[in-house]
């Protein structure tokens, strides 16, 4: 079992719809969770992070965390073609003095005009 799992997609949604991206993780000790967006040929850029159970909203983006079920999700409201990218879920690795991030393989989102 991979430590961080994501559906590779592509996830295709029409412009203006809600895109829902999901991620599950295996280490119950993980404490912080991140969503990165990566455009083709570019480096990952941080969209949101979440530490506590529940929802965290930032503009059109909402991160949701359920530690009991070990999943984290990202909702993108009013999806735009510019949101088309690969979305990487990352989970901290609590072992060791320096926290490391474990990344999923990413979900490709395609927003259709």
Residues 53-82 that bind other proteins (CB under 8 A): none
Closest CB to other proteins among residues 4, 13: 4
Q: Is 100 in the site for other proteins (CB under 8 A)?
A: yes
- CA distances in angstroms from 43 to 16, 26, 61, 65, 87, listed in the order given: 26, 26, 20, 25, 11
Query: Strand pairing of 11-14 and 107-112?
Result: parallel
Closest CB to other proteins among residues 41, 113: 41
Q: Which of 37, 47, 106, 107 binds other proteins (CB under 8 A)?
A: 106
Beta-carbon contacts of residue 52 (< 8 Å; ≥ 6 apart):
65
Catalog residues that contact other proteins under the rule CB under 8 A: 8, 32, 34, 42-46, 49, 88, 92, 96-101, 103-106
């Amino acid at each position: 079992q991979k430590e961080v799992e994501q559906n590779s997609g592509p996830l295709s949604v029409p412009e203006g719809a809600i895109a829902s991206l999901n991620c599950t993780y295996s280490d119950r000790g993980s404490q912080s969770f991140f969503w990165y967006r990566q455009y083709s040929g570019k480096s990952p850029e941080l969209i949101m992070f979440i530490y506590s159970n529940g929802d965290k909203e930032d503009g059109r983006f909402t991160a949701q965390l359920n530690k009991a079920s070990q999943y984290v999700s990202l909702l993108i409201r009013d999806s735009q073609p510019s949101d088309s990218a690969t979305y990487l879920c990352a989970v901290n690795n609590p072992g060791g003095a320096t926290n490391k991030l474990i990344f999923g393989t990413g979900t490709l989102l395609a927003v259709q005009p």
